């Protein structure tokens, strides 16, 4: 899937990175092949997500790993991720390109098109809950909402180059 399947006017974006939030609409069905709510639930319920890819958040804070990772350090404790989601917590799956081959391909394609390092992460927050508090990302971020409804307040930077 080339970048043009995700955003409008790729040449313009590559020439001038956006300095303000930009919205590109796509059909959720067009993105369903990338990742779906059913896949997230299947991975959670089959307990197939490696600990290195799992971060749990609640009330805008990252939970201490010892509260949900098993003693071996390789996998979350049985039922811990589902219980967290059921209690209104957020699941962040980091490095998703190491879990799903099609996302690895997408990552390589976008890196080849842009020349930029790409990471693929996913967030799942139950209805009525808030995953992250107001924050900024110190890098270009492409967000694809694949299921449900959320309010995404997007703002231009309040401070120019906040990480320098």
Task: Supply 54's token pair.
Answer: 């799992």
C-alpha closest to that of 90 among 148, 32, 153: 148
Question: H or E element: which one contains 82?
Answer: helix 80-86
Task: List all residues 6 or more positions away from 10 whose beta carbon is below 8 Å from its beta carbon.
Answer: 2, 3, 4, 113
For residues 81-95, one letter each, b for 16 or more C-beta atoms within 10 angstroms of the residue's C-beta and e for the rest, the string is beebbeeebbbbbbe
Q: What are the structural domains of the chain?
A: 1-14+33-150 (2.60.120.650)
The pLDDT tens digits of the residues spanning 49-87 come to 999 999 999 988 999 999 999 899 999 999 999 999 999
Residue 126 carries which DSSP code? -
The predicted pLDDT at position 95 comes to 92
Give the pLDDT mean for 84-102: 93
Q: What is the pTM of this model?
A: 0.84
Task: From residue 139, give the alpha-carbon distance in Å to each of 30, 53, 85, 95.
Answer: 25, 20, 28, 16
pLDDT band (50, 70, 90) for residue 108: very high
CA atoms within 13 A on the CB side of 98: 12
pLDDT on residue 164: 58
| CB atoms inside a 10 Å sphere around CB 45 | 11
Average pLDDT over residues 2-15: 84
pLDDT for 64: 96
Asked if 54 and 90 count as a contact pair (C-beta separation under 8 A), the reply is no
Q: Would you state the structure tokens that stand for residue 116, as one six-digit string?
A: 């930029």
92 forms beta bridges with 55, 123
pLDDT at 63: 95
């Amino acid at each position: 899937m080339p970048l043009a399947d995700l955003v409008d006017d790729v040449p313009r974006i590559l020439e001038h990175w956006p300095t303000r939030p930009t919205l590109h609409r796509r059909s959720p069905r067009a993105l369903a092949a990338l990742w779906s709510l059913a896949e997230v639930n299947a991975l959670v319920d089959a307990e197939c997500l490696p600990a290195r890819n799992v971060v749990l958040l609640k009330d805008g804070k990252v939970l201490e790993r010892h509260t949900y990772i098993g003693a071996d350090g390789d996998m979350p404790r049985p039922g811990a991720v589902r219980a967290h989601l059921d209690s209104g917590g957020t699941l962040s799956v980091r490095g998703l390109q190491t879990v799903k081959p099609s996302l690895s391909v997408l990552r390589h394609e976008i890196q080849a098109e842009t020349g930029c390092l790409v990471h693929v992460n996913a967030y799942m927050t139950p209805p009525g809950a808030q995953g992250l508090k107001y924050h900024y990302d110190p890098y270009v971020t492409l967000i694809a909402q694949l299921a449900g409804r959320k309010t995404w307040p997007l703002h231009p930077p309040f401070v120019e180059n906040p990480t320098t």
